[in-house]
């Protein structure tokens, strides 16, 4: 099944699962969150904490940021959207799909080159020649380089470092960054470019290099309430997302706390 149809089917199934919740008017309907795939581990923890504290149910769907944005354009019934790229959030904002002044930009990330954990690479890459040699050993998994944030950042970094033309023919593109990570973890490719947080979440891969922060655009995770969905419980969730407990969880999972959010 092609990615867009698969994600659309997931959306419809989520909507169907929520359709019966209004039968009990004393209980608010679940909050539906659409989030970037790279947020899967941390948001699972954050949502569990919010549900325990608030008694409110949250349903979350993960996909590449480009797929999330497009599904909102198609009318998917999300309450909150969390992306890995401000350009896609600005895209939604320009189309009037977000609640005014609800956007938060709190967390960031870094970009890493990873290889399978076995066999062990004895030393981390410390210079550009070493990075180039790793990239030349075989196929390189990356999220879609023209659409998905991790792929966009990865191409920017390789271009900035003068390596894109060398690597381009060996790139294996995937729907999202977690799919790229899986190819590395399974040994299907020689290396991959993913977020540091993705690499830390899977012990089947090892980080051999982090790309310089100035080699690509700043990696920022914006979150916002979808237009017309600013129910009290949704606002409560957004407040929790920017609170101390959620911030600690993001930092524990390897995310950066942006300077302006401290």
pLDDT of residue 259: 74
Domains and CATH numbers, the chain: 3-108+219-261 (3.40.190.10), 111-215 (3.40.190.10)
pLDDT of residue 190: 93
Q: What is the mean pLDDT of residues 3-25?
A: 46
Mean of the per-residue pLDDT values of the chain: 88
Q: Are 43 and 33 in contact (CB under 8 A)?
A: yes
Q: What is the mean pLDDT of residues 199-214?
A: 93
Tell me: the pLDDT tens digits for 112-135? 999 999 876 655 565 566 777 888
pLDDT of residue 137: 85
pLDDT of residue 20: 45
Give residues with Cβ within 8 angstroms of 121, minimum separation 6.
Answer: 115, 134, 206, 208
Each as own residue / partner, the long-range contacts of residues 115-122 (CB below 8 Å, 24 or more positions apart, any chain) are: 115/184, 115/190, 115/191, 115/192, 115/205, 115/206, 115/208, 116/184, 116/185, 116/187, 116/204, 116/205, 116/206, 117/203, 117/204, 117/205, 117/206, 120/206, 121/206, 121/208
Give residues with Cβ within 8 angstroms of 152, minimum separation 6.
Answer: 85, 145, 146, 217
**28: pLDDT confidence band, cut at 50, 70 and 90?**
confident
Tell me: the pLDDT tens digits for 221-231? 999 999 999 99
pLDDT of residue 3: 46
pLDDT of residue 131: 77
Looking at the predicted structure, is the pLDDT value of residue 27 above 70? no
Alpha-carbon gap, residue 83 to 131, rounded angstroms: 29
Looking at the predicted structure, is the pLDDT value of residue 32 above 80? yes
Q: Torsion angle, CA of 160/68/249/86, rounded to 10 degrees?
A: 40
Looking at the predicted structure, is the pLDDT value of residue 254 above 70? yes
Closest CA to 64 of 9, 15, 7, 20: 7
> Residue 119, Cβ neighbours under 10 Å: how many?
7
Alpha-carbon gap, residue 216 to 201, rounded angstroms: 23
- Top mean-pLDDT range of 27-36, 43-52, 131-140: 43-52
pLDDT of residue 127: 59
Handedness of CA 117, 120, 125, 131 (dihedral sign): negative
């Amino acid at each position: 099944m092609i990615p867009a149809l698969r994600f659309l089917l997931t959306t419809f199934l989520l909507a169907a699962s929520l359709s019966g919740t209004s039968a009990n008017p004393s209980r608010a309907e679940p909050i539906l969150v659409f989030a970037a795939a790279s947020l899967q581990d941390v948001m699972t923890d954050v949502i569990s904490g919010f549900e325990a504290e608030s008694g409110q149910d949250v349903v979350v769907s993960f996909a590449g940021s480009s797929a999330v944005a497009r599904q909102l354009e198609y009318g998917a019934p999300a309450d909150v959207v969390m992306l890995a790229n401000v350009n896609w959030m600005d895209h939604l904002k320009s189309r009037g799909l977000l609640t005014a002044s609800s956007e938060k930009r709190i967390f960031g990330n870094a970009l890493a080159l990873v290889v399978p954990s076995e066999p062990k690479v004895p030393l981390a890459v410390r210079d550009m020649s070493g990075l180039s040699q790793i990239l030349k050993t075989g196929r390189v998994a990356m999220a879609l380089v023209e659409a998905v944030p991790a792929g966009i950042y990865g191409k920017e970094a390789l271009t900035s470092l003068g390596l894109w033309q060398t690597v381009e023919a060996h790139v294996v593109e995937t729907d999202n960054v977690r799919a790229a990570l899986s190819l590395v973890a399974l040994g299907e490719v020689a290396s991959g470019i993913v977020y540091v947080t993705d690499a830390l979440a899977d012990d089947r891969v090892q980080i051999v290099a982090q790309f310089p922060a100035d080699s690509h655009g700043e990696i920022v995770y914006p979150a916002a309430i979808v237009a017309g969905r600013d129910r009290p419980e949704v606002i409560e969730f957004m407040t929790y997302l920017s609170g101390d407990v959620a911030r600690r969880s993001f930092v524990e999972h390897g995310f950066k706390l942006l300077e302006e959010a401290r």
